[in-house]
Amino acid sequence: MRISNDTGLGQHQVLEVVQKTLDYIAEAVSMGNKVELRNFGVFEVKIRKARVGRNPNAPATNVPIPPRAIVKFKPGKEMRVQVIKLTPANQGSAPKLPPPA
């Protein structure tokens, strides 16, 4: 709604553009490419090493977990600066989030 209001485009057009953008990002990452969106962040594929896990129902049982590819997101500097502002002054209090627009 905000993008539609800010740009003058119809909501349906905005939805199509945003969905296509996300589809192309997902496609690029699924091919192993790194996708960098300036001032937002970076999506990339990392390989998680094989490890041994535990079955919570039978803690004595080791479960081998094979290596697997995961998507990692690293926020850009501007996003990190904005998010760090949410850090509460007291560790016991929850951050006050701005109302949704």
Do residues 6 and 47 share a domain?
A: no
Domain shared by 20 and 39, yes or no: no
Instruction: Tell me which H or E stretch contains 24.
Output: helix 11-30
Report how many domains make up the chain: 2
Dist. CA 8–CA 69, nearest whole Å: 40
- The reported pLDDT for the residue numbered 56 is 86
In sequence order, what are the beta bridge partners of 43? 35, 73
What pTM did the predictor assign?
Answer: 0.69
34 vs 1, 29, 39, 59, 79, CA distance in Å? Answer: 29, 6, 15, 38, 18
Same domain, 19 and 49: no
CA nearest 84: which of 73, 72, 93, 75?
75
Residues 81 and 38 in one domain: yes
Both 41 and 12 in one domain: the answer is no
Question: Which contiguous run of DSSP H or E holds residue 36?
Answer: strand 35-37
51 and 19 within one domain: no
Nearest residue to 38 via CA among 91, 94, 77, 85: 77
Same domain, 55 and 14: no
- Is residue 52 within 8 A of residue 65, CB to CB? The reply is yes
Assigned domain for 74 exists: yes
Residue span of the structural domain in which 7 resides = 1-30
Digitized pLDDT (tens) for each residue of the chain, 101 residues in all: 899 899 989 999 999 999 999 999 999 999 999 999 998 999 999 999 999 998 888 888 899 999 999 999 999 999 999 999 999 875 555 556 666 65
- Residue 59 in any domain: the answer is yes
